Structure 1
Amino acid sequence: LCQEKRHDELIERLLGAIDNLAKSGAEFAALSANTPHIVFDKLQARSPIPLISIVEAACEEAGRRGLRKIGLLGTIFTMTGDFFKAPFIKSGIQVVVPQESELSRISDRITKELELGVVRDETLAYFQQVIAGMQDEDGIEAIVLGCTELPLVLNDEVSPVPCLDTMQIHINAIVREILRDE
């Protein structure tokens, strides 16, 4: 649906799931992937319950760490869309994406390998090279793992710069919300 830019259909599909959660007693919901956040604002406006944004949580974490310039890896939709960058820019954090010639290759490694559970040393080496290039050429201070499969190959121990693992950051935000009223 994202690839075909069928965003209204994506909203309806996600809203149906959220409505079911709300009817079952859920007090809030979260989209557990980065790319569907392409419709997050419209979805949140129609949601019967609050939604916790993976993008906003990652932005808050970057701010907490005092970061001013971050790199972003993810699907082609995440890297090229404004939906992921906007909260960071609004918070005064510059977002750098890989060179245009790398975008499709990065997205392909995610969709044709990592999403299928295929983890290859060559893919790690490629991502390390891309991140190192962004650090050298653009001065990024950290890399946002803007796809929940990226932690299969990248983490602070193997990345040239610290990683912002959006999946773990989102989990932490969800747990904080659960514990907020206790």
Structure 2
Amino acid sequence: MRKLGLIGGTGPESTIIYYREITDGVRRRLGRDRFPHLSIESLDVFEVLDFCKRDDHAGLVDYLARGIADLASAGAEFAAFTGITPHVVFDEVARRSPIPIVSMLDMSLRYAADRHYGRVALLGTGPTMDGDFFQRPFRSHGIDVVTPDDEDRRYIAKAIETELEYGIVRPTTQKTLRDIAVRLAERRHAEAIVLGCTELPLAFDGIDLPVDVMDVMRIHVDALIDRIVGE
């Protein structure tokens, strides 16, 4: 098996899920009691968000690249981010990285293309919804990406930063997030709702929607398991 290095802490709740799902997934994939070797470099999601709010992409690249270098020094053969927001500077970090980085965006785009989606609705952090780093590759493959209106974007971003990053899941927040997703499906004709923050699955667990759900974390985890076991 190949050793994976994870940039964790972006945020902690999703890092815990990545660790659990990868270790359990490898054991199930192999059909025997084996766990993979992996290293986690836990960074600070709030520092990542601050870099984004200041448009300090150079500082964010340096911050993430140091984490990747630490993982490589620990023997990781490839790496991944446990949050989607760091992908705003993915290409720059990948160029500086001594080991390959598996992109959450690339895996999500492949998933959407395989299902022939024409339009998806993106939910995520402020930098993810307001930026273009997620939308751009989808557009280049003929997939339209829509986002909530300004008020709903602010609500989602606040819920992620003040609740979900701490593992807090309130029923009222779940209902509001579901209502936003349903409006995007019905009014913007989205064929799938993209959970474009790795904490959002906490809020959508057990929530029914009228369209498909793209859980980017689950898609990414499956791809990482493939690479660990050599598939």
* TM superposition score category, shorter chain reference: over 0.9
- Which residue number corresponds to residue 98 of structure 1? 148
Superposition TM-score, scaled by structure 2 size: 0.75
Displacement of 1:159: 2.5
Corresponding position of 1:67: 117
- After TM superposition, give the deviation of residue 106 of structure 1 in Å: 1.1
What residue number does 2:184 align with?
Answer: 134
TM-score using structure 1 length: 0.94
Check if 1:121 corresponds to 2:189: no
Which residue, 99, 103, 117 being the options, matches 1:53? 103
Aligned equivalents of 1:121, 1:69: Cα separation in 2: 28
Q: Give, in angstroms, the shift of residue 21 of structure 1.
A: 1.6
Letter in 1 for 2:162: K
Could you say if the C-alpha distance between residues 119 and 156 of structure 1 is closer, same or farther in structure 2, counting changes exceeding 3 Å? closer
Closer, same or farther: CA 117–157 of 1 in aligned 2, 3 Å: closer
In the TM superposition, residue 59 of structure 1 has moved relative to its aligned partner by: 1.0
**Residue by residue, what CA displacement relative to the aligned partner does 1:121-152 show, whole Å, maximum 9, x if unpaired?**
11111111111111111100111100011001
Whole-Å Cα distance in 2 between the matches of residues 135 and 76 of structure 1? Answer: 20
Distance change (3 Å), C-alpha of 1:149 and 1:122: same
Comparing 41-50 with 157-166, greater Cα deviation is found at: 157-166
The answer (yes or no) to whether the contact 2:83–2:198 under 8 Å persists in 1 is yes
SS in 1 for 2:134: helix
| Residue in structure 1 matched with residue 83 of structure 2 by the alignment | 33
Checking the alignment, whether the CA contact within 8 Å between 2:148 and 2:184 is kept in structure 1 is: yes
Name 2:158's counterpart in structure 1. 108
Aligned length: 181
State the identity %: 40
Q: 2:104 & 2:74 partners in 1: Cα distance? A: 23
Separation in 2 of the partners of 1:20 and 1:113?
Answer: 30
1:46-84: CA deviations, max 9, x gaps? 111111111111111111222111000001100011111
The answer to whether the 8 A contact 2:185-2:193 is kept is no
Q: Which segment drifts farther, 1-10 or 69-78?
A: 1-10
Unaligned runs of 5+ in 1: none
Label 1:113 to 1:160 Cα distance change in 2 as closer, same or farther (>3 A).
Answer: farther
Deviations along 1:13-66, one digit per CA (max 9) or x if unpaired, are 111111122222211110110111111011111111111111111111111222
Contact 1:131 1:160 in 2 (8 A): no
Letter in 1 for 2:79: A
State the 1:158 CA deviation.
2.1
The partner residue of 1:3 within 53, 75, 78 is 53
Q: Which runs of 5+ in 2 are unaligned?
A: 1-50
**Alpha-carbon distance between aligned partners in 2 of 1:90 and 1:172, rounded to the nearest angstrom:** 24
- Counterpart amino acid of residue 194 in structure 2: V
* Aligned residue in 2 for 1:80: 130
